[in-house]
Amino acid sequence: MQSTTAPRRRSTVGRRLALVVAAAAVVATSVAGTSAPATAQATRNPILFVHGYGGSAGNWNTMISRFRSAGYTSNELMAITYNSALSNTTIAGQVRTAADNLRSRTGAAKIDIVAHSMGSLSTRYYLKNLGGSSVVDDWVSLGGPNHGTTSALACTLISLGCVDMVAGSLFLLGLNAGDESPGSTSYSTVWSSCDGVIIPATSTIVSGANNNQLGCVTHLALLTDQTAFNRTRSLVA
């Protein structure tokens, strides 16, 4: 009996040593910076970035670069460009398509959304009316006109998106009717009293969301400010 069990013991020990060596190799590779830790990759979600009125995907270059430095891969980060003259209802359809594409290319069950300014409206519509809340884990609005802004009055003749951003518009009345943060998605907003474009600045606040006020940060600086990035990063962690 002893002669038959001893080899098995040695085999088990050998397998354990092999596992330890393999684990050490993974850790060493991660520390060297050639790959992210497996646990980090398993817990984070890909992020879809949606710009504001008159913007483009390029608005997110600084923030995306910082997310890359934080360990995200380029495949996990997607920024879209849309036509700001369209209604937010129409843009929301484009958001849904982009979200589906991001999930498909990464194999992720859920994604996060980070939106700036008017992008907050189309993404909220996607969450509430187009099934987005079932596949979006975290939604973060940076300076979003979630209850309207007086600055939108300057462009209502050239943009349906601006019409949507006027306080009391049919779009906002529908978007904010009932639960402002429906579904299982975690809603967060980031706003500043120095915004200058979202008037009043408190329009960004969404009922039921984690509403975060920063120091004196301008509307466009929310895209590039280090503190704004740090807060955003913590909200999608």
Query: Residue 23: its pLDDT value, please?
Result: 37
Does residue 7 have a cis peptide bond before it, meaning omega lies within 30 degrees of 0? no
Phi, psi of 116 (to 5 degrees): -115, 140
217 pLDDT higher than 80:
yes
Output 4 or 100, whichever has higher pLDDT. Answer: 100
CA distance 79 to 90: 17
Mean pLDDT of the chain: 87
CA distance 163 to 158: 9
Give per-residue pLDDT as tens, 129-182: 999 999 999 999 999 999 999 999 999 999 999 999 999 999 999 999 999 999
Give per-residue pLDDT as tens, 41-97: 557 999 999 999 999 999 999 999 999 999 999 999 999 999 999 999 999 999 999
Phi, psi of 55 (to 5 degrees): -95, -165
Q: What is the pTM assigned to this prediction? A: 0.83
Query: Residue 26: its pLDDT value, please?
Result: 32
Beta strands 47-50; 77-80: pairing state: parallel
